[in-house]
């Protein structure tokens, strides 16, 4: 979707992740990190050693609901995946990728001792 959009996605999602994690009682050891793969795949790495897998999943779902940029990304990618003949407003035809996934994959980082 483009570098500028990705930076906006990161900034907005990080702020929402911090706020939502605090409400959920999840301690984030560092800001969430983003990795971009082929076909627009986004993996969000969460450094929260005491959180459960269910909490990480719930955090990701909540961010994608509350963050307007993540919500736009999901709806825009969903429209393209469903075969929309034209990209949503703001996305030029050169940005269209009919194989782009519609959500971000939230993954918990392993504990610090296992990262070495």
DSSP state of 111: P
In Å, the largest CA–CA distance within the chain is: 49
Q: Span 69-73, mean pLDDT?
A: 88
Give the strand order in the sheet containing 42-46: 33-36, 42-46, 104-108
Q: How confident is the model at residue 55 (pLDDT cuts 50, 70, 90)?
A: very high
Identify whether the C-beta of residue 24 lies closer than 8 Å to the C-beta of residue 58.
yes
Determine how β-strand 104-108 pairs with β-strand 42-46: parallel
Whether 95 maps to a domain, the answer reads: no
CATH of the domain at 59: 3.30.300.20
Whether 56 maps to a domain, the answer reads: yes
Number of domains the chain is built from: 1
According to the model, what pLDDT value does residue 45 have?
96
pLDDT at 79 over 50: yes
């Amino acid at each position: 979707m483009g570098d500028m959009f990705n930076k906006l996605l990161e900034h907005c999602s990080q702020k929402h992740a911090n706020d939502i994690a605090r409400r959920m009682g999840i301690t984030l050891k560092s800001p969430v990190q983003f990795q971009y793969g082929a076909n627009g795949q986004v993996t969000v790495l969460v450094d929260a050693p005491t959180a459960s897998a269910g909490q990480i999943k719930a955090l990701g779902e909540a961010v994608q609901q509350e963050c307007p940029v993540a919500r736009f990304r999901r709806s825009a990618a969903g429209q393209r995946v469903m075969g929309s003949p034209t990209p949503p407003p703001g996305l030029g035809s050169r940005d269209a990728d009919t194989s782009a996934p519609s959500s971000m994959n939230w993954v918990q980082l392993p504990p610090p001792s296992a990262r070495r």
